[in-house]
A = this chain, B = another copy of it.
Amino acid sequence: MSSQQQAQPLLIVGSVAFDSVETPHGRADMTLGGSASYAGIAASYFARPRVVGIVGEDFADHHMRKLSDHGVDVRGIERAQGKTFHWKGRYHENMKDRDTLETSLNVFQHFHPSIPDAYRDTPYVLLGNIDPQLQLSVLDQAQGARFVAMDTMNFWINTAREPLLDVVKRIDLLFINDEEAMQLADERSVVGAAEKLLRMGPKFVVVKRGEHGAVLFGPQLTLFVPAMMLANVVDPTGAGDTFAGGFLGQLSRTGALDRSALASALTWGTVMASFTVEAFSVDGICGLSAEAIAERRKTLVEMVRY
């Protein structure tokens, strides 16, 4: 967690957005969000993330600085005419289900990710939860990629299943939540779904289960990490992206892919996600001390030491 200097670069492609979120605990309007923002900041504690995304003219410098102050390389964030992608949603009392009140793609509608030449040799790549066609385009450009992870969601399973499966074939690790795993694999159990998804291409499948933790499936390998036990969840937005960013950050830091490296990545990803949900926007993961992060990981590991 301390030696970003040795870390391999990590390329993150995803959305940079403004979120307006209402939860039973309060609300936040037009705050920094998007999969690449959460993943980038989370990864910055472990690695040197390079973010590729698009923002509009309304994306103020202080938003960009939230990323760059964390050591996120923002040279790949294109600024286009028009407004930044805006998502507006409201969480139910259970803090899990949510209604989307508004999705204004704005400049994101015309996003054609162009990987800067200087980024094309990046060994670790995280394809955030975006249109599978764009994920494919990134794969074609990222010629130096040695390890590619992707995230996706039910929207793409429903509307772009074929290109999504094309991406799945070409990646090393798939992040997906439990219901979506069963939907994509057409299976009734998480285990059955994971086994089927592993046969579709990726070496590893990480099934995200929200407050119930995450499971990594691989060749002769099943690893489980519980979520942190939190008394005050303020806003779950971005938890999955943060988890993926922390996971890939840690993986690129160590450069290894063995059981120990994967297990470690699972725990650091979980710890970062636990900070995200305790505040709105990216506030929970901005400016954390190494000690605070390490302390929380210790609590996590202690919970499952028998």
Taking Cβ atoms with an 8 Å cutoff, the residues of A that contact B are 24, 93, 188-192, 195, 209, 212-213, 215, 222-226, 229-233, 260, 263-264, 266-267, 299, 301-306
The contact of A231 among B192, B224, B260, B266, by CB within 8 Å, is: B192
Which B residues are in CB contact (< 8 Å) with A93?
Answer: 188
Q: Give 4 A-B pairs besides A190-B229, A223-B304, A266-B306 with Cβ atoms closer than 8 angstroms.
A: A222-B229, A222-B299, A267-B306, A301-B306
Which B residues are in CB contact (< 8 Å) with A191?
Answer: 229-231
In the assembled complex, the Cα of A225 lies from the Cα of B306 at a distance in Å of: 9
Shortest beta-carbon distance, A239 to chain B, in Å?
A: 15
The contact of A264 among B192, B212, B213, B306, by CB within 8 Å, is: B306
In the assembled complex, the Cα of A232 lies from the Cα of B189 at a distance in Å of: 8
Which B residues are in CB contact (< 8 Å) with A263?
Answer: 305-306
Which B residues are in CB contact (< 8 Å) with A225?
Answer: 304, 306
Which B residues are in CB contact (< 8 Å) with A231?
Answer: 189, 191-192, 195
Report yes or no: B229 in contact with A226, Cβ–Cβ below 8 A: no
Shortest beta-carbon distance, A246 to chain B, in Å?
A: 14
